[in-house]
Copies of this chain bind each other. A is one copy, B any other.
Amino acid sequence: MELLDVGEPGRAQVRLRVEAIGLNRSEAMFRAGDYPILPKLPTLIGYEGVGVIEALGPGVEGFALGERVCVLPNSRLGEYGMYAERAIVPVRSLLPPPPGLSTIEAASIWMQYFTALAIVHVGRAGLGDYVIIRAASSSVGIAAIQLTRWAGAVPIAVTRTNAKAATLKEQGAQHVIATDESDLIAQVNHITDGRGARIIFDPVGGPDVDKLAQAAAQEGMIIIYGGLSGEPTVFPHWPAALKGLSLRGWVASEIWNRPERFSRYRELIVHGLAGGHLKAVIAKTFPFEQVAEAHRYLESNQQVGKIVVTV
């Protein structure tokens, strides 16, 4: 890390005193060179968090000095840098924090809920639908469990071991399948009475997608929002043909790059937080000096929920 004077905000930018940084998997991938945008070293990093506005660039309207704001991760990684005490960010990334949330909680919500909204927006989860949520203890996984329950659907949390099963149930998972310890397809068949899951939400990809396809319902959808396995995902030809399955790619920008969708779902998230349908779950916080440890913890997969770095 180098010391960097971030300078003055340009047109349609503000400078923040950063208070809390929400960590995302994409940042660990970016750091490791596994993201489609390669970092130009030395690079800025980090795009989600909370800060207080301390300088306004030309043309900024609707925000005031001293105001606390959330930063939505809708910039390209490396373009701005929230892993900092001071950060320049574009005004299009600023949102007022939802009422009633702590600064740490407010740093945790946008990426996870906008990502998990795939279940609603493309999956159209509704009453009685079975939804398999893989990597369920991640921040997005927990958000998906909450959204699934809110939609009246049935969350089936998929995790590797039983270590987190009780916690996932406390977080709203109606069923938990530990793939190292039991047979995914048999378990899903048992839970769904042989029908399979209509929606499967997966950040891992790779060879196990074939099992997910076998656990899917007729005309089901597998939403793939990451490639954490690091292995190619082979299209599951025969189950997909015989059951009419879709494999659907997803990133949250599909919502926030479209103004109408963005405002509609943003209101839904705020409403869900206020009504108790949604709740920020913080796995652990780290002080800014320990940001490297925070990344190691993120990659260790021990957490349940979001990792936040406080500044």
A contacts, CB < 8 Å to B:
36, 122, 205, 209, 219, 221, 224-225, 227, 232-251, 253-254
Closest to A231 in B: B234
Please name all residues of chain B whose beta carbon is closer than 8 Å to the beta carbon of A209 when the two chains form the complex. Answer: 235
Known: A225-B241, A244-B254. A205 touches B235 (CB 8 A): yes
Q: Could you tell me the distance between the alpha carbons of A250 and B241 in the complex, rounded to whole angstroms? A: 4
> Looking at the complex, which one of B235, B238, B250, B251 makes contact with A247 (CB distance below 8 Å)?
B235
Known: A233-B234, A234-B232, A249-B239. A244 touches B122 (CB 8 A): yes
Q: A234–B237 contact, CB under 8 A?
A: no
Chain B's nearest CB lies how many Å from the CB of A205? 7
Chain B's nearest CB lies how many Å from the CB of A231? 10
Known: A233-B234, A235-B232, A235-B233. A249 touches B254 (CB 8 A): no
Q: A244–B249 contact, CB under 8 A?
A: yes
> Looking at the complex, which one of B233, B236, B253 makes contact with A237 (CB distance below 8 Å)?
B233
> Looking at the complex, which one of B122, B224, B237, B254 makes contact with A227 (CB distance below 8 Å)?
B237
Closest to A35 in B: B238
Q: Could you tell me the distance between the alpha carbons of A224 and B239 in the complex, rounded to whole angstroms? A: 12
Q: A246–B244 contact, CB under 8 A?
A: no
| Count of this chain's copies in the oligomeric assembly | 2
Determine the main DSSP class of A at the interface with B: mixed
> Looking at the complex, which one of B205, B234, B247, B254 makes contact with A246 (CB distance below 8 Å)?
B247
Known: A244-B122, A244-B254, A254-B244. A205 touches B237 (CB 8 A): yes
Please name all residues of chain B whose beta carbon is closer than 8 Å to the beta carbon of A246 when the two chains form the complex. Answer: 221, 246-249
Chain B's nearest CB lies how many Å from the CB of A210? 11
Please name all residues of chain B whose beta carbon is closer than 8 Å to the beta carbon of A205 when the two chains form the complex. Answer: 235, 237
Chain B's nearest CB lies how many Å from the CB of A12? 24
Q: Could you tell me the distance between the alpha carbons of A295 and B271 in the complex, rounded to whole angstroms? A: 62
Q: B248–A242 contact, CB under 8 A?
A: no
Please name all residues of chain B whose beta carbon is closer than 8 Å to the beta carbon of A239 when the two chains form the complex. Answer: 249
Q: Could you tell me the distance between the alpha carbons of A250 and B122 in the complex, rounded to whole angstroms? A: 19
Chain B's nearest CB lies how many Å from the CB of A250? 6
Chain B's nearest CB lies how many Å from the CB of A143? 18
Q: A244–B248 contact, CB under 8 A?
A: yes
> Looking at the complex, which one of B235, B242, B248 makes contact with A224 (CB distance below 8 Å)?
B235
Q: Could you tell me the distance between the alpha carbons of A227 and B239 in the complex, rounded to whole angstroms? A: 13
Chain B's nearest CB lies how many Å from the CB of A61? 30
Closest to A219 in B: B254
Please name all residues of chain B whose beta carbon is closer than 8 Å to the beta carbon of A122 when the two chains form the complex. Answer: 244
Q: Could you tell me the distance between the alpha carbons of A246 and B246 in the complex, rounded to whole angstroms? A: 6
> Looking at the complex, which one of B227, B245, B250, B253 makes contact with A249 (CB distance below 8 Å)?
B245
27 cross-chain CB contacts under 8 A: A36-B242, A205-B235, A209-B235, A224-B240, A225-B241, A227-B237, A232-B234, A232-B235, A233-B234, A233-B235, A234-B234, A235-B235, A235-B247, A235-B249, A237-B249, A239-B249, A240-B247, A240-B248, A241-B250, A242-B249, A242-B251, A243-B249, A244-B248, A244-B249, A244-B250, A246-B247, A246-B249
